[in-house]
């Protein structure tokens, strides 16, 4: 009789200990920071801004303010085209990010590159990221008006088309709310000021959360 009681107590203790361990493991996993890579050009690299004021720094702080434990990796290189981003994609993923913000294409447009080539490069980037089961937020870009309506008609649909094709989250225009506002861009008329970056971050956050949630739901 005493042996049966002892065995029963042991089973109860073992079950409780197992539940406690699993609960602690789950809590640790949920507290683990999500890694977010901003793969882009000068708009994500923080061009012309002091430390702490660039896109990735402000995005990381905004996520922290929302209670999200995240590491935001600055993968922006000034002057990069979509071809450059594709060529350095593998080593840009060295930190194994869960979600990648793809912000490329602006320099393609500024140089008047063939939109078909831009689309092909972005398609390859998105395909490779999806093959690696990474979450994706595709940040769109619009062609400068001075390139003409024909160029814009070919370039601007690239991003929504690819977002539909790959079923990824789209933020239609990275510079939304900032482009064309002299008080929010640097003297070059292109790159955002720190205040401009703050607006970009606040506007892009809902789309980023959507991309994060989509990734978690497919795990």
For the chain, the maximum distance between any two Cα atoms, rounded to a whole number of angstroms, is: 91
Contact criterion met (CB below 8 Å) for 98 and 133:
no
Strands (DSSP E) contained in the chain are: 34-40, 70-76, 99-103, 135-139, 169-171
Contact criterion met (CB below 8 Å) for 141 and 173:
yes
DSSP output for 181-206: -TTTB-TTSSSB-HHHHHHHHHHHHH
Q: Is 188 one of the annotated active-site residues of the chain?
A: yes
Among the listed residues 65, 150, 188, 219, the single catalytic one is 188
Q: Please tell me what DSSP assigns to residue 146.
A: G
Q: Is 42 one of the annotated active-site residues of the chain?
A: yes
What gap in Å lies between CA 149 and CA 145, rounded to an integer? Answer: 7
> Starting at the edge strand that comes first in sequence, how are the strands of the sheet with 70-76 ordered?
70-76, 34-40, 99-103, 135-139, 169-171
Among the listed residues 41, 42, 92, 108, the single catalytic one is 42
Residues marked as catalytic: 42, 188, 191
């Amino acid at each position: 009789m005493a042996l049966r009681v002892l065995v029963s107590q042991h089973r109860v203790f073992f079950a409780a200990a197992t539940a406690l361990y699993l609960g602690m493991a789950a809590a640790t996993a949920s507290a683990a920071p999500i890694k977010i890579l901003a793969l882009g050009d000068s708009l994500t690299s923080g061009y012309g801004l002091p430390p702490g004021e660039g896109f990735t720094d402000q995005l990381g702080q905004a996520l922290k303010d929302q209670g999200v434990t995240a590491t935001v990796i600055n993968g922006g290189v000034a002057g990069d085209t979509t071809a450059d981003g594709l060529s350095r994609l593998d080593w840009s993923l060295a930190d194994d990010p869960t979600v990648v913000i793809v912000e490329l294409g602006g320099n393609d447009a500024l140089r008047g590159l063939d939109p078909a080539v831009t689309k092909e490069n972005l398609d390859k980037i998105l395909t490779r990221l999806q093959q690696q089961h990474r979450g994706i937020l595709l940040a769109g870009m619009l062609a400068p008006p001075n390139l003409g309506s024909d160029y814009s008609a070919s370039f601007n649909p690239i991003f929504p088309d690819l977002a539909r094709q790959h079923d990824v989250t789209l933020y239609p225009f990275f510079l939304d709310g900032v482009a064309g506002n002299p008080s929010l861009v640097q003297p070059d008329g292109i790159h955002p000021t720190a205040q401009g970056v703050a607006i970009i971050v606040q506007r892009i956050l809902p789309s980023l959360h959507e991309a994060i949630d989509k990734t978690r739901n497919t795990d």
